[in-house]
Structure 1
Amino acid sequence: MSGLEAALAEASSPSWSQRVRAGRDLASFADVPDAAEALVGLLLDVEDTAVTRQTAEALAQVGTPAAVRLIALAVARADDSHVEWMRTGVHDALAGPDGVPDVAAVCGQLAQDPEEAVCLAARELSTWTDEARC
Protein backbone atom coordinates (compact mmCIF):
# COMPACT_ATOMS: atom_id res chain seq x y z
CA MET A 1 0.00 0.00 0.00
CA SER A 2 1.40 3.41 -0.97
CA GLY A 3 1.67 6.32 1.45
CA LEU A 4 -1.26 7.99 -0.27
CA GLU A 5 -3.43 4.88 -0.01
CA ALA A 6 -2.52 4.41 3.66
CA ALA A 7 -3.33 8.04 4.46
CA LEU A 8 -6.64 7.78 2.60
CA ALA A 9 -7.52 4.73 4.70
CA GLU A 10 -6.60 6.58 7.91
CA ALA A 11 -8.83 9.51 6.93
CA SER A 12 -11.90 7.42 7.73
CA SER A 13 -10.51 5.84 10.89
CA PRO A 14 -12.58 5.97 14.07
CA SER A 15 -9.42 7.17 15.85
CA TRP A 16 -9.05 10.95 15.94
CA SER A 17 -5.26 10.65 16.14
CA GLN A 18 -5.17 8.59 12.95
CA ARG A 19 -7.39 11.13 11.22
CA VAL A 20 -5.01 13.90 12.35
CA ARG A 21 -2.09 11.92 10.89
CA ALA A 22 -4.06 11.45 7.68
CA GLY A 23 -4.63 15.20 7.41
CA ARG A 24 -0.92 15.86 7.78
CA ASP A 25 0.05 13.09 5.37
CA LEU A 26 -2.53 14.02 2.74
CA ALA A 27 -1.82 17.78 2.74
CA SER A 28 0.95 17.44 0.17
CA PHE A 29 -1.49 15.57 -2.10
CA ALA A 30 -4.07 18.39 -2.12
CA ASP A 31 -4.12 18.41 -5.91
CA VAL A 32 -5.08 14.70 -6.09
CA PRO A 33 -8.90 14.40 -6.29
CA ASP A 34 -9.28 11.51 -3.80
CA ALA A 35 -6.97 13.23 -1.32
CA ALA A 36 -8.74 16.57 -1.80
CA GLU A 37 -12.10 15.01 -1.03
CA ALA A 38 -10.71 13.32 2.09
CA LEU A 39 -9.02 16.55 3.23
CA VAL A 40 -12.23 18.57 3.01
CA GLY A 41 -13.90 15.83 5.04
CA LEU A 42 -11.15 16.08 7.65
CA LEU A 43 -11.48 19.86 7.79
CA LEU A 44 -15.18 19.38 8.48
CA ASP A 45 -14.65 16.46 10.89
CA VAL A 46 -17.74 16.16 13.07
CA GLU A 47 -16.14 14.11 15.83
CA ASP A 48 -13.04 16.04 16.85
CA THR A 49 -11.99 19.63 16.23
CA ALA A 50 -8.32 18.65 16.66
CA VAL A 51 -8.64 17.00 13.26
CA THR A 52 -10.02 20.23 11.79
CA ARG A 53 -7.33 22.39 13.35
CA GLN A 54 -4.35 20.23 12.48
CA THR A 55 -5.52 19.54 8.94
CA ALA A 56 -5.92 23.28 8.34
CA GLU A 57 -2.45 23.85 9.77
CA ALA A 58 -0.93 21.18 7.50
CA LEU A 59 -2.62 22.59 4.41
CA ALA A 60 -1.51 26.14 5.24
CA GLN A 61 2.03 24.88 5.73
CA VAL A 62 1.94 23.34 2.25
CA GLY A 63 0.55 26.67 1.02
CA THR A 64 -0.07 25.71 -2.59
CA PRO A 65 -3.12 27.05 -4.39
CA ALA A 66 -4.66 23.55 -4.28
CA ALA A 67 -4.07 23.26 -0.52
CA VAL A 68 -5.37 26.71 0.36
CA ARG A 69 -8.36 26.24 -1.97
CA LEU A 70 -9.39 23.20 0.09
CA ILE A 71 -9.40 25.33 3.23
CA ALA A 72 -11.53 27.89 1.39
CA LEU A 73 -13.96 25.20 0.23
CA ALA A 74 -14.30 23.91 3.78
CA VAL A 75 -14.76 27.41 5.20
CA ALA A 76 -17.59 27.97 2.72
CA ARG A 77 -19.36 24.83 4.03
CA ALA A 78 -18.46 25.02 7.72
CA ASP A 79 -20.34 26.11 10.79
CA ASP A 80 -18.88 28.88 12.96
CA SER A 81 -17.11 26.46 15.29
CA HIS A 82 -15.28 24.70 12.48
CA VAL A 83 -14.35 28.02 10.89
CA GLU A 84 -12.76 29.12 14.17
CA TRP A 85 -10.74 25.89 14.43
CA MET A 86 -9.57 26.25 10.82
CA ARG A 87 -8.60 29.83 11.55
CA THR A 88 -6.60 28.68 14.56
CA GLY A 89 -4.86 26.05 12.45
CA VAL A 90 -3.93 28.60 9.80
CA HIS A 91 -2.64 30.97 12.49
CA ASP A 92 -0.58 28.13 13.98
CA ALA A 93 1.01 27.47 10.60
CA LEU A 94 1.79 31.13 9.98
CA ALA A 95 3.25 31.58 13.46
CA GLY A 96 5.40 28.45 13.22
CA PRO A 97 9.20 28.68 13.21
CA ASP A 98 9.59 26.86 9.90
CA GLY A 99 8.06 29.58 7.79
CA VAL A 100 5.36 28.86 5.25
CA PRO A 101 4.65 29.89 1.68
CA ASP A 102 2.91 33.20 1.17
CA VAL A 103 -0.64 32.11 1.97
CA ALA A 104 -1.84 35.72 1.57
CA ALA A 105 -0.66 35.77 -2.04
CA VAL A 106 -2.43 32.48 -2.72
CA CYS A 107 -5.60 33.90 -1.17
CA GLY A 108 -5.31 36.83 -3.56
CA GLN A 109 -5.20 34.40 -6.49
CA LEU A 110 -8.16 32.43 -5.13
CA ALA A 111 -10.19 35.62 -4.72
CA GLN A 112 -10.49 35.42 -8.52
CA ASP A 113 -11.68 31.78 -8.48
CA PRO A 114 -14.67 31.09 -10.73
CA GLU A 115 -16.49 29.41 -7.84
CA GLU A 116 -18.11 32.20 -5.82
CA ALA A 117 -17.94 30.32 -2.50
CA VAL A 118 -14.17 29.91 -2.92
CA CYS A 119 -13.80 33.62 -3.75
CA LEU A 120 -15.63 34.71 -0.63
CA ALA A 121 -13.85 32.23 1.63
CA ALA A 122 -10.45 33.18 0.18
CA ARG A 123 -11.14 36.79 1.10
CA GLU A 124 -11.92 35.67 4.66
CA LEU A 125 -8.73 33.58 4.74
CA SER A 126 -6.79 36.63 3.63
CA THR A 127 -7.92 38.48 6.74
CA TRP A 128 -6.61 35.58 8.83
CA THR A 129 -3.17 35.99 7.30
CA ASP A 130 -3.27 39.72 8.10
CA GLU A 131 -4.16 38.95 11.72
CA ALA A 132 -1.33 36.43 12.02
CA ARG A 133 1.22 39.04 10.97
CA CYS A 134 0.21 41.43 13.75
Structure 2
Amino acid sequence: MIELQAALDGALSPCSSLRVRAGFDLASYAATPEAAEVLLELLLDVADTAVTRRTAEALSRVGTVSAVRLIALALAEADDSHADWIQTGVQDVLWTQTGVPDVAAICVHLARDREAAVRQGAVEILEWTGDATR
Protein backbone atom coordinates (compact mmCIF):
# COMPACT_ATOMS: atom_id res chain seq x y z
CA MET A 1 0.00 0.00 0.00
CA ILE A 2 2.98 2.28 0.47
CA GLU A 3 3.66 2.08 -3.28
CA LEU A 4 0.10 3.18 -4.03
CA GLN A 5 0.37 6.14 -1.66
CA ALA A 6 3.72 7.18 -3.14
CA ALA A 7 2.22 7.11 -6.64
CA LEU A 8 -0.82 9.09 -5.50
CA ASP A 9 1.51 11.67 -3.98
CA GLY A 10 3.59 11.79 -7.19
CA ALA A 11 0.47 12.58 -9.21
CA LEU A 12 0.16 15.85 -7.27
CA SER A 13 3.68 16.96 -8.12
CA PRO A 14 4.23 20.17 -10.09
CA CYS A 15 6.93 18.24 -11.98
CA SER A 16 5.47 16.63 -15.11
CA SER A 17 8.03 13.80 -15.14
CA LEU A 18 6.87 12.79 -11.66
CA ARG A 19 3.25 12.87 -12.83
CA VAL A 20 4.18 10.68 -15.81
CA ARG A 21 5.83 8.21 -13.40
CA ALA A 22 2.74 8.30 -11.21
CA GLY A 23 0.57 7.44 -14.23
CA PHE A 24 2.70 4.38 -14.94
CA ASP A 25 2.76 3.36 -11.27
CA LEU A 26 -0.97 3.84 -10.77
CA ALA A 27 -2.10 2.08 -13.96
CA SER A 28 -2.03 -1.34 -12.30
CA TYR A 29 -4.34 0.07 -9.59
CA ALA A 30 -6.99 1.23 -12.09
CA ALA A 31 -9.71 -0.77 -10.30
CA THR A 32 -8.98 1.02 -7.02
CA PRO A 33 -11.35 4.02 -6.68
CA GLU A 34 -8.77 6.48 -5.32
CA ALA A 35 -6.29 5.55 -8.05
CA ALA A 36 -8.98 5.66 -10.75
CA GLU A 37 -9.91 9.21 -9.78
CA VAL A 38 -6.28 10.34 -9.97
CA LEU A 39 -5.68 8.49 -13.25
CA LEU A 40 -8.60 10.36 -14.83
CA GLU A 41 -6.99 13.61 -13.72
CA LEU A 42 -3.67 12.54 -15.22
CA LEU A 43 -5.34 11.60 -18.50
CA LEU A 44 -6.70 15.15 -18.65
CA ASP A 45 -3.58 16.85 -17.21
CA VAL A 46 -3.92 20.57 -17.78
CA ALA A 47 -0.21 21.39 -17.58
CA ASP A 48 1.44 18.83 -19.88
CA THR A 49 -0.05 16.58 -22.54
CA ALA A 50 2.96 14.26 -22.17
CA VAL A 51 1.33 13.19 -18.92
CA THR A 52 -1.88 12.49 -20.87
CA ARG A 53 -0.08 10.44 -23.51
CA ARG A 54 2.03 8.38 -21.12
CA THR A 55 -0.86 7.69 -18.75
CA ALA A 56 -2.98 6.47 -21.69
CA GLU A 57 -0.06 4.30 -22.77
CA ALA A 58 0.36 2.85 -19.28
CA LEU A 59 -3.34 2.05 -18.94
CA SER A 60 -3.36 0.44 -22.39
CA ARG A 61 -0.40 -1.74 -21.45
CA VAL A 62 -2.16 -2.89 -18.29
CA GLY A 63 -5.14 -3.61 -20.52
CA THR A 64 -7.68 -4.55 -17.88
CA VAL A 65 -11.34 -3.64 -18.24
CA SER A 66 -10.89 -1.07 -15.45
CA ALA A 67 -7.87 0.49 -17.16
CA VAL A 68 -9.45 0.75 -20.61
CA ARG A 69 -12.69 2.00 -19.05
CA LEU A 70 -10.77 4.96 -17.59
CA ILE A 71 -9.41 5.81 -21.03
CA ALA A 72 -12.93 5.69 -22.46
CA LEU A 73 -14.25 7.91 -19.67
CA ALA A 74 -11.47 10.45 -20.18
CA LEU A 75 -12.26 10.64 -23.89
CA ALA A 76 -15.80 11.77 -23.07
CA GLU A 77 -14.40 14.77 -21.18
CA ALA A 78 -11.32 15.46 -23.30
CA ASP A 79 -10.88 18.48 -25.52
CA ASP A 80 -9.53 17.84 -29.02
CA SER A 81 -5.90 18.20 -27.95
CA HIS A 82 -6.19 15.78 -25.05
CA ALA A 83 -8.19 13.33 -27.19
CA ASP A 84 -5.38 13.36 -29.76
CA TRP A 85 -2.75 12.64 -27.10
CA ILE A 86 -4.88 9.90 -25.53
CA GLN A 87 -5.18 8.35 -28.98
CA THR A 88 -1.42 8.59 -29.48
CA GLY A 89 -0.78 6.88 -26.14
CA VAL A 90 -3.18 4.06 -26.94
CA GLN A 91 -1.80 3.63 -30.45
CA ASP A 92 1.77 3.54 -29.12
CA VAL A 93 0.72 0.31 -27.44
CA LEU A 94 -1.50 -1.04 -30.22
CA TRP A 95 1.29 -0.74 -32.76
CA THR A 96 3.60 -2.85 -30.60
CA GLN A 97 1.02 -5.55 -29.83
CA THR A 98 3.65 -7.90 -28.36
CA GLY A 99 2.28 -9.21 -25.09
CA VAL A 100 -0.36 -6.47 -24.91
CA PRO A 101 -3.93 -7.32 -23.89
CA ASP A 102 -6.58 -7.06 -26.60
CA VAL A 103 -7.78 -3.50 -26.08
CA ALA A 104 -10.27 -3.86 -28.95
CA ALA A 105 -11.94 -6.89 -27.33
CA ILE A 106 -12.29 -4.95 -24.08
CA CYS A 107 -13.81 -2.01 -25.97
CA VAL A 108 -16.37 -4.31 -27.61
CA HIS A 109 -17.45 -5.22 -24.08
CA LEU A 110 -17.36 -1.57 -22.91
CA ALA A 111 -19.43 -0.43 -25.89
CA ARG A 112 -22.36 -2.03 -24.02
CA ASP A 113 -21.54 -0.37 -20.68
CA ARG A 114 -24.42 1.17 -18.71
CA GLU A 115 -22.66 4.57 -18.71
CA ALA A 116 -23.06 6.55 -21.94
CA ALA A 117 -19.64 8.24 -21.66
CA VAL A 118 -17.93 4.84 -21.45
CA ARG A 119 -19.87 3.54 -24.45
CA GLN A 120 -18.95 6.64 -26.46
CA GLY A 121 -15.26 6.41 -25.58
CA ALA A 122 -15.11 2.67 -26.23
CA VAL A 123 -16.56 3.11 -29.71
CA GLU A 124 -13.99 5.83 -30.43
CA ILE A 125 -11.14 3.57 -29.29
CA LEU A 126 -12.53 0.76 -31.47
CA GLU A 127 -12.31 3.10 -34.45
CA TRP A 128 -8.61 3.65 -33.68
CA THR A 129 -8.00 -0.09 -33.60
CA GLY A 130 -9.76 -0.71 -36.89
CA ASP A 131 -12.16 -3.09 -35.11
CA ALA A 132 -15.26 -0.89 -35.03
CA THR A 133 -17.39 -3.63 -36.58
CA ARG A 134 -16.23 -6.42 -34.27
Cα distance between partner residues in 1 of 2:7 and 2:98: 23
Amino acid at match of 2:21: R
- The amino acid that maps onto 1:34 is E
Alignment of 1:82-97 (within 5 A): 82-96=82-96
Q: Deviations over 1:27-75 (max 9, x none)?
A: 0000000000000000000000000000000000111000000000100
Distance 2:6 2:96 in 1: 27
Q: What stretches of structure 1 of length at least 5 have no aligned partner?
A: none
Q: Distance in 1 between matches of 2:27 and 2:36?
A: 8
- Letter of the 1:130 partner, please give it: G
The residue correspondences of 1:1-134 to structure 2 (distance < 5 A) are: 2-96=2-96, 98-130=98-130
Write out the 4+ residue segments of structure 1 that deviate beyond 6 Å after TM superposition: none
The TM-score with structure 2 as length reference comes to 0.94
State the 1:117 CA deviation: 1.1
Displacement of 1:102 in angstroms is 0.3
- Comparing 95-104 with 22-31, which one deviates more in the overlay? 95-104
Per-residue displacement from partner, 1:62-104 (whole Å, max 9, x unpaired)? 1100000000010000000000000000000112364310000
TM normalised by structure 1 equals 0.94
SS of alignment partner, residue 29 of structure 1: coil
The number of aligned residues is: 131
Q: Which amino acid aligns with 2:87?
A: R
Range moving further from structure 2, 1-10 or 53-62: 1-10
The RMSD of aligned alpha carbons is: 1.2
Give secondary structure in 1 for the equivalent of 2:100: coil
Q: In structure 2, what is the Cα distance between the partners aligned to 1:68 and 1:97? A: 15
